[in-house]
Amino acid sequence: GENVEQHPSTLSVQEGDSAVIKCTYSDSASNYFPWYKQELGKRPQLIIDIRSNVGEKKDQRIAVTLNKTAKHFSLHITETQPEDSAVYFCAASKPSGYQKVTFGTGTKLQVIP
Amino acid sequence: EPEVTQTPSHQVTQMGQEVILRCVPISNHLYFYWYRQILGQKVEFLVSFYNNEISEKSEIFDDQFSVERPDGSNFTLKIRSTKLEDSAMYFCASSVGQGGEPQHFGDGTRLSIL
Protein backbone atom coordinates (compact mmCIF):
# COMPACT_ATOMS: atom_id res chain seq x y z
CA GLY A 1 0.00 0.00 0.00
CA GLU A 2 0.85 3.66 -0.03
CA ASN A 3 3.60 4.91 2.29
CA VAL A 4 4.13 8.60 2.98
CA GLU A 5 7.37 9.79 4.56
CA GLN A 6 7.62 13.27 6.04
CA HIS A 7 10.59 15.37 7.14
CA PRO A 8 11.57 16.97 9.40
CA SER A 9 9.70 15.68 12.45
CA THR A 10 10.27 18.98 14.26
CA LEU A 11 11.06 22.42 12.91
CA SER A 12 11.77 25.65 14.77
CA VAL A 13 11.89 28.95 12.91
CA GLN A 14 12.01 32.59 13.89
CA GLU A 15 8.90 34.61 13.28
CA GLY A 16 9.01 36.03 9.78
CA ASP A 17 11.24 33.29 8.40
CA SER A 18 10.09 30.61 5.96
CA ALA A 19 9.36 26.98 6.79
CA VAL A 20 9.58 24.05 4.41
CA ILE A 21 8.23 20.57 5.04
CA LYS A 22 8.96 17.75 2.61
CA CYS A 23 7.14 14.52 1.87
CA THR A 24 7.64 11.55 -0.39
CA TYR A 25 5.11 8.95 -1.40
CA SER A 26 5.51 5.46 -2.77
CA ASP A 27 2.48 4.75 -4.94
CA SER A 28 2.69 6.39 -8.36
CA ALA A 29 -1.11 6.03 -8.69
CA SER A 30 -1.66 8.63 -5.96
CA ASN A 31 -3.01 11.82 -7.47
CA TYR A 32 -4.33 13.95 -4.62
CA PHE A 33 -2.13 15.47 -1.93
CA PRO A 34 -3.77 17.39 0.92
CA TRP A 35 -1.98 19.13 3.77
CA TYR A 36 -3.53 19.29 7.22
CA LYS A 37 -2.73 21.53 10.18
CA GLN A 38 -3.50 20.12 13.60
CA GLU A 39 -3.38 22.23 16.72
CA LEU A 40 -3.06 20.48 20.05
CA GLY A 41 -6.20 18.48 20.84
CA LYS A 42 -7.99 19.70 17.74
CA ARG A 43 -9.13 18.22 14.46
CA PRO A 44 -6.88 18.07 11.39
CA GLN A 45 -7.80 21.06 9.25
CA LEU A 46 -7.22 21.09 5.54
CA ILE A 47 -5.05 24.08 4.67
CA ILE A 48 -4.17 23.41 1.05
CA ASP A 49 -4.23 20.59 -1.45
CA ILE A 50 -2.78 19.81 -4.85
CA ARG A 51 -3.69 17.43 -7.61
CA SER A 52 -1.28 15.60 -9.84
CA ASN A 53 -2.09 17.65 -12.91
CA VAL A 54 -0.66 20.72 -11.18
CA GLY A 55 2.96 21.35 -10.22
CA GLU A 56 2.46 24.21 -7.80
CA LYS A 57 -0.35 25.91 -5.93
CA LYS A 58 -0.29 28.99 -3.76
CA ASP A 59 -2.70 30.46 -1.23
CA GLN A 60 -1.45 33.64 0.43
CA ARG A 61 1.53 32.63 2.60
CA ILE A 62 1.22 28.92 1.87
CA ALA A 63 2.40 27.11 -1.24
CA VAL A 64 2.70 23.48 -2.23
CA THR A 65 4.87 21.99 -4.94
CA LEU A 66 4.60 18.55 -6.48
CA ASN A 67 7.16 16.55 -8.44
CA LYS A 68 5.34 13.48 -9.71
CA THR A 69 8.42 12.02 -11.35
CA ALA A 70 10.34 12.00 -8.09
CA LYS A 71 7.22 11.40 -5.99
CA HIS A 72 8.02 14.41 -3.81
CA PHE A 73 5.77 17.18 -2.57
CA SER A 74 6.49 20.06 -0.24
CA LEU A 75 4.75 22.69 1.85
CA HIS A 76 6.21 26.18 2.01
CA ILE A 77 5.08 28.72 4.59
CA THR A 78 6.45 32.24 4.19
CA GLU A 79 6.48 35.06 6.74
CA THR A 80 5.71 32.65 9.55
CA GLN A 81 3.68 33.83 12.52
CA PRO A 82 3.31 32.37 16.02
CA GLU A 83 -0.19 31.15 15.13
CA ASP A 84 1.37 28.92 12.47
CA SER A 85 2.75 26.78 15.31
CA ALA A 86 1.09 23.36 15.04
CA VAL A 87 1.65 19.86 13.71
CA TYR A 88 1.44 19.64 9.93
CA PHE A 89 0.58 16.42 8.13
CA CYS A 90 1.03 15.71 4.48
CA ALA A 91 -1.14 13.03 2.92
CA ALA A 92 -1.76 11.20 -0.30
CA SER A 93 -4.70 9.41 -1.86
CA LYS A 94 -5.59 7.60 -5.05
CA PRO A 95 -8.66 7.94 -7.24
CA SER A 96 -9.68 4.36 -6.40
CA GLY A 97 -10.23 2.93 -2.96
CA TYR A 98 -12.81 5.55 -2.11
CA GLN A 99 -10.14 8.06 -1.36
CA LYS A 100 -8.45 6.44 1.61
CA VAL A 101 -6.04 9.10 2.77
CA THR A 102 -2.60 7.98 3.90
CA PHE A 103 -1.01 10.46 6.27
CA GLY A 104 2.63 11.26 6.83
CA THR A 105 4.15 11.13 10.29
CA GLY A 106 3.75 14.84 10.97
CA THR A 107 6.00 17.85 11.48
CA LYS A 108 5.78 19.86 14.66
CA LEU A 109 6.39 23.46 13.66
CA GLN A 110 7.32 25.97 16.31
CA VAL A 111 7.46 29.64 15.35
CA ILE A 112 9.50 31.60 17.87
CA PRO A 113 8.34 35.20 18.38
CA GLU B 1 -19.90 26.72 7.38
CA PRO B 2 -21.22 23.16 7.83
CA GLU B 3 -19.16 20.89 10.05
CA VAL B 4 -18.80 17.24 10.90
CA THR B 5 -19.94 16.76 14.50
CA GLN B 6 -18.90 13.94 16.81
CA THR B 7 -20.20 12.75 20.16
CA PRO B 8 -19.11 12.22 22.82
CA SER B 9 -15.99 14.35 22.97
CA HIS B 10 -14.49 12.02 25.57
CA GLN B 11 -15.45 8.43 26.39
CA VAL B 12 -13.98 6.45 29.27
CA THR B 13 -14.71 2.72 29.22
CA GLN B 14 -13.60 -0.41 31.02
CA MET B 15 -11.61 -2.91 28.99
CA GLY B 16 -13.89 -5.50 27.42
CA GLN B 17 -16.88 -3.19 27.20
CA GLU B 18 -18.56 -2.10 24.01
CA VAL B 19 -18.42 1.50 22.84
CA ILE B 20 -20.27 3.37 20.12
CA LEU B 21 -18.86 6.56 18.72
CA ARG B 22 -21.23 8.80 16.84
CA CYS B 23 -20.79 11.17 13.95
CA VAL B 24 -23.03 13.43 11.93
CA PRO B 25 -21.37 14.05 8.55
CA ILE B 26 -21.95 17.16 6.49
CA SER B 27 -25.41 16.82 5.00
CA ASN B 28 -24.64 16.71 1.26
CA HIS B 29 -21.60 14.47 1.64
CA LEU B 30 -21.78 10.93 0.34
CA TYR B 31 -18.52 9.36 1.56
CA PHE B 32 -17.76 8.75 5.21
CA TYR B 33 -14.59 7.71 7.00
CA TRP B 34 -13.21 6.82 10.40
CA TYR B 35 -9.60 7.46 11.35
CA ARG B 36 -7.78 7.06 14.62
CA GLN B 37 -4.79 8.85 16.11
CA ILE B 38 -2.87 7.39 18.99
CA LEU B 39 -1.44 10.17 21.17
CA GLY B 40 1.55 11.78 19.51
CA GLN B 41 1.32 9.67 16.38
CA LYS B 42 -0.01 10.08 12.86
CA VAL B 43 -3.59 9.80 11.74
CA GLU B 44 -4.42 6.27 10.58
CA PHE B 45 -7.20 5.22 8.23
CA LEU B 46 -9.72 2.72 9.61
CA VAL B 47 -12.61 2.45 7.19
CA SER B 48 -14.49 4.17 4.39
CA PHE B 49 -18.23 3.87 3.81
CA TYR B 50 -20.38 4.65 0.81
CA ASN B 51 -23.89 3.73 -0.26
CA ASN B 52 -24.53 1.91 3.01
CA GLU B 53 -21.59 -0.41 2.79
CA ILE B 54 -17.92 -0.54 3.61
CA SER B 55 -15.82 0.33 0.59
CA GLU B 56 -12.39 -0.15 2.12
CA LYS B 57 -10.94 -1.02 5.50
CA SER B 58 -7.46 -1.18 6.96
CA GLU B 59 -5.81 -4.02 8.84
CA ILE B 60 -6.63 -2.17 12.07
CA PHE B 61 -10.35 -2.57 11.36
CA ASP B 62 -10.73 -6.16 12.52
CA ASP B 63 -13.81 -8.13 13.59
CA GLN B 64 -14.13 -6.07 16.77
CA PHE B 65 -15.00 -3.00 14.73
CA SER B 66 -18.16 -2.24 12.82
CA VAL B 67 -19.75 0.80 11.21
CA GLU B 68 -23.33 1.67 10.55
CA ARG B 69 -25.48 4.43 9.16
CA PRO B 70 -28.63 3.78 11.19
CA ASP B 71 -30.55 6.71 9.74
CA GLY B 72 -30.13 9.49 7.24
CA SER B 73 -27.79 11.55 9.36
CA ASN B 74 -25.76 9.48 11.83
CA PHE B 75 -22.68 7.40 11.14
CA THR B 76 -21.41 5.21 13.98
CA LEU B 77 -18.30 3.26 14.85
CA LYS B 78 -18.73 0.37 17.27
CA ILE B 79 -15.96 -1.44 19.08
CA ARG B 80 -17.38 -4.65 20.55
CA SER B 81 -14.84 -5.61 23.19
CA THR B 82 -12.41 -2.81 23.84
CA LYS B 83 -8.72 -3.34 24.50
CA LEU B 84 -6.22 -1.05 26.18
CA GLU B 85 -4.60 -0.42 22.80
CA ASP B 86 -7.87 0.98 21.45
CA SER B 87 -7.22 4.12 23.48
CA ALA B 88 -6.87 6.90 20.92
CA MET B 89 -8.57 9.88 19.35
CA TYR B 90 -11.11 8.75 16.78
CA PHE B 91 -11.94 11.12 13.96
CA CYS B 92 -14.88 10.93 11.63
CA ALA B 93 -14.57 12.57 8.21
CA SER B 94 -16.78 13.06 5.21
CA SER B 95 -16.40 14.18 1.62
CA VAL B 96 -18.81 15.11 -1.10
CA GLY B 97 -17.23 12.79 -3.62
CA GLN B 98 -14.22 10.62 -4.24
CA GLY B 99 -11.02 10.97 -6.15
CA GLY B 100 -9.47 14.20 -5.03
CA GLU B 101 -12.23 15.71 -2.97
CA PRO B 102 -11.28 17.26 0.39
CA GLN B 103 -12.19 15.32 3.50
CA HIS B 104 -13.57 17.35 6.37
CA PHE B 105 -12.83 16.10 9.86
CA GLY B 106 -14.85 16.29 13.05
CA ASP B 107 -13.38 17.34 16.39
CA GLY B 108 -12.86 13.73 17.39
CA THR B 109 -13.76 11.49 20.30
CA ARG B 110 -11.03 10.77 22.80
CA LEU B 111 -11.47 7.14 23.83
CA SER B 112 -9.79 6.07 27.05
CA ILE B 113 -9.81 2.37 27.95
CA LEU B 114 -9.13 1.54 31.59
Per-residue model confidence as pLDDT tens for chain A (113 residues)? 889 999 999 999 999 999 999 999 999 989 899 999 999 888 999 999 998 877 899 999 999 999 999 999 999 999 999 999 999 999 998 876 456 889 999 999 999 99
Q: Tell me the residue ranges of DSSP E strands in chain B.
A: 5-7, 10-13, 19-24, 31-37, 43-50, 53-57, 65-68, 75-79, 88-95, 104-105, 109-113
Number of neighbours of residue B104 by Cβ within 10 angstroms: 22
Name the residue among A44, A99, A105 with its Cβ closest to that of B99.
A99
pLDDT of residue A71: 95
pLDDT of residue A53: 78
| CA-based nearest distance B56→chain A, Å | 6
Cβ of A45 and B108 within 8 Å?
no
| Averaged confidence pLDDT in chain B | 92
DSSP symbol at A93: B
pLDDT of residue B14: 96
CA gap A9, B59 in Å, rounded: 25
A16 touches chain B (CB under 8 A): no
pLDDT of residue A51: 87
pLDDT of residue B101: 76
Strand duo B109-113 + B10-13: pairing? parallel
